[in-house]
């Protein structure tokens, strides 16, 4: 009781304190009954103990309801009804010397050295006993239901509650069945043990409640949009971040409460979202939302929740903001298809573009192969850093000269390729001329820029694109051989 008064804060502590007070008063009345030498006082204190015994069952039920923090706690009217019979019992106990409603007859055999008496209980005692056992059954039902719906690592406090109630019921049963002599009130012993169990339960339950409280805080603290759904996918709860974000985007979750999650997602889609992949009712879906200040990407995950018996209770749906991850993934995919030296597409992108462009709607499809002249001489004479610079400059010029919506890539050390849609051989020749002129104009480097070029055009789908590319490659090497035969000047302008 001292410990309880020190932490007298929660409802369960209040009701448990009242239980302790009733128990102590009951014990005191029994002690007075044992030490008094007057038969009349023995009868008075026996009746007097019923005042406190009567209030124990309803107080115990209220204590248990608040201990488990059940969703439905008794109203003031229900509490008043629970206390009605104990109140009548208390009144009858106070006036028990003048009527036989609680104790019909009491025959004291001896007062000393051992108190012995025969007790014949009155009709109201059995009314109160029936009431007590009805309340006790409700109590057992609440405890068992709550116990088996708790996670296993939270069940120790609940086990203490079960042990405490079991001691009380066993003691009452032994008393009513006359297992022990009338002079020995076993219910006092079992009630004392129950109080010890209850105190253990409360002490350990405070730790569990801290964990529950922490979980509740995490539920609202996480930067996730969490929806709790019933078995029909209706929204029964939403965390605060979801309410705040949806409200800021003109979607009131208060109005959507108790409707299906599909309605929430539909409202999001109507505000400027679309599903990239998956479906609303699938385990996972990706939603792109462009209705806000910045485009966002959400991943929708749904998890079914089952109880200990495997029965479906509902599900949890979580909307996670994966915008940054999505952007990073796009950049990585872009980087994976990009040549890191020139910024052009690499061979991986080239293979994809070749497959994508090889269809009738892109004919005629011209291929231009380019090979940088003198790269080895620049590497050997000026150094590899100049060779890399040479490739970068050539790549920049080829990119600038590439017609809009066409494809250019670096596919090897000093090899580049154009894939040109709707480009005739004459148009390809004009592009080659522009490339040579652009290279000739670029004279601010320590090396002379030139490329060997070969071209070929696919005019019909009967022709194989790989054969066209091979033909352009052969013509490029022919051009390179011809350049080497006539080239007399070195490719660099300044000596190393």
Each domain of the chain, given as residue ranges in start order, spans: 2-218, 225-328, 338-486
User: Which of helix, strand or coil describes residue 277?
Assistant: strand
User: Which of helix, strand or coil describes residue 267?
Assistant: helix
Residue with tokens 């298809």: 337
pLDDT confidence of 5, banded at 50, 70, 90? low
Mean pLDDT of all residues in 96-123: 74
Mean pLDDT of all residues in 178-189: 71
| Least reliable range by pLDDT among 1-10, 26-35, 264-273, 300-309 | 1-10
- DSSP secondary structure, 81-118, as one string: HHHHHHHHHHHHHHTGGG-SSSEEEEEEEE-SSS-EEE
pLDDT confidence of 137, banded at 50, 70, 90? confident
Phi and psi at residue 316, to the nearest 5°: -120, 130
Is the pLDDT reported for residue 307 higher than 90?
no
Contacts of 31 (CB under 8 A, 6+ apart): none
Phi and psi at residue 248, to the nearest 5°: -65, -20
Superfamily holding 338-486? Reverse transcriptase/Diguanylate cyclase domain (3.30.70.270)
| Least reliable range by pLDDT among 86-100, 143-157, 283-297 | 143-157
Residue of 199 and 242 predicted with greater confidence: 242
pLDDT for res 10:
67
CATH class name, domain 2-218: mainly alpha
In a 10 Å sphere around its CB, with 0-12 CB exposed, 13-18 middle and 19+ buried, how is residue 174 labelled? middle
Mean pLDDT of all residues in 35-51: 80
Residue of 488 and 194 predicted with greater confidence: 194
pLDDT confidence of 308, banded at 50, 70, 90? low
- DSSP secondary structure, 358-416, as one string: -SGGG-SEEEEEEEETTHHHHHHHT-HHHHHHHHHHHHHHHHHHSPTT-EEEE-SSSEE
- The topology (CATH level 3) of 225-328 is Beta-Lactamase (3.30.450)
| Residues 132, 30, 87, 79, CA torsion sign | negative
pLDDT for res 490:
46
Locate 416 and state its tokens. 């580049």
Is the pLDDT reported for residue 361 higher than 80?
yes
Residue of 45 and 420 predicted with greater confidence: 420
Mean pLDDT of all residues in 24-49: 81
User: 225-328 and 338-486: same fold?
Assistant: no
Query: For 444-456, what is each residue's pLDDT tens digit?
Result: 777 888 999 999 9
- Going across the sheet that includes 296-306, the strands are 235-238, 225-230, 312-321, 296-306, 284-289, 273-278
pLDDT for res 451:
94
465 near 400, Cβ under 8 Å?
no
| Least reliable range by pLDDT among 239-243, 335-339, 458-462 | 335-339
pLDDT for res 188:
79
Is the pLDDT reported for residue 114 higher than 80?
no
Query: For 81-99, what is each residue's pLDDT tens digit?
Result: 888 999 998 898 888 878 8
- What's the rounded Cα separation, in Å, for the pair 237 and 148? 23
In a 10 Å sphere around its CB, with 0-12 CB exposed, 13-18 middle and 19+ buried, how is residue 38 labelled? exposed
pLDDT confidence of 489, banded at 50, 70, 90? very low
pLDDT confidence of 469, banded at 50, 70, 90? very high
Query: For 212-271, what is each residue's pLDDT tens digit?
Result: 667 777 888 888 999 998 888 888 888 889 988 888 888 887 665 567 888 888 888 888
- What's the rounded Cα separation, in Å, for the pair 48 and 41? 10
452 near 422, Cβ under 8 Å?
no
């Amino acid at each position: 009781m001292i410990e309880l008064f020190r932490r007298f804060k929660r409802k369960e502590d209040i009701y448990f304190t009242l239980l302790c007070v009733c128990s102590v008063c009951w014990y005191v009345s029994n002690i007075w009954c044992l030490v008094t030498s007057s038969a009349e006082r023995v009868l008075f204190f026996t009746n007097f103990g019923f005042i406190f015994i009567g209030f124990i069952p309803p107080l115990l039920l209220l204590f248990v309801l608040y201990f488990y923090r059940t969703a439905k706690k008794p109203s003031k009217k229900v509490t008043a009804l629970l206390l009605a019979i104990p109140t009548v019992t208390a009144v009858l106990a106070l006036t028990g010397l003048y009527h036989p409603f609680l104790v019909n007859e009491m025959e004291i055999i001896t007062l000393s050295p051992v108190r012995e008496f025969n007790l014949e209980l009155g009709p109201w005692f059995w009314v109160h006993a029936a009431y007590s056992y009805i309340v006790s059954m409700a109590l057992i039902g609440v405890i068992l239901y709550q116990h088996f719906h708790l996670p296993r690592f939270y069940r120790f406090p609940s086990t203490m509650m079960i042990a405490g109630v079991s001691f009380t019921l066993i003691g009452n049963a032994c008393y009513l069945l006359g297992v022990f002599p009338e002079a020995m009130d076993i219910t006092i012993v079992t009630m004392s043990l129950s109080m010890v169990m209850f105190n253990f339960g409360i002490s350990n339950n405070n730790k569990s409640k801290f964990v529950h409280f922490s979980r509740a805080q995490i539920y609202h603290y996480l930067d996730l949009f969490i929806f709790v759904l019933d078995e029909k996918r209706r929204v029964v709860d939403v965390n605060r971040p979801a309410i705040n974000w949806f409200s800021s985007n003109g979607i009131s979750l208060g109005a959507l409460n108790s409707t299906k999650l599909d309605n929430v997602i539909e409202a999001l889609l109507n505000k400027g979202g679309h599903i990239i992949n998956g479906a609303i009712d699938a385990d996972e879906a990706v939603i792109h939302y462009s209705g806000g200040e910045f485009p966002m990407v959400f991943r929708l995950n749904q998890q079914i929740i089952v109880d200990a018996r495997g029965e479906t209770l509902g599900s949890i749906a979580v909307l996670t903001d994966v915008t940054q991850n999505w952007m990073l993934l796009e950049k990585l995919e872009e980087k994976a298809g990009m040549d890191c030296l020139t910024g052009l597409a690499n061979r991986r992108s080239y293979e994809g573009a070749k497959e994508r462009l090889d269809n009738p709607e892109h004919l005629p499809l011209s291929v231009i192969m380019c090979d940088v002249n003198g790269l080895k001489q620049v590497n050997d004479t000026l150094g590899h850093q100049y060779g890399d610079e040479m490739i970068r400059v050539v790549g920049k010029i080829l990119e600038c000269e590439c017609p809009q919506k066409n494809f250019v890539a670096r596919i090897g050390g000093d090899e580049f390729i154009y894939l040109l849609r709707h480009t005739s051989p004459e148009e390809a020749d004009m592009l080659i001329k522009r490339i040579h002129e652009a290279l000739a104009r670029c004279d601010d480097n320590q090396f002379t820029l030139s490329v060997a070029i070969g071209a070929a055009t696919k005019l019909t789908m009967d022709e194989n694109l790989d054969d066209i590319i091979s033909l352009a490659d052969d013509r490029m090497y022919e051009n390179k051989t011809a350049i080497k035969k006539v080239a007399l000047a070195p490719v660099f302008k300044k000596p190393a």
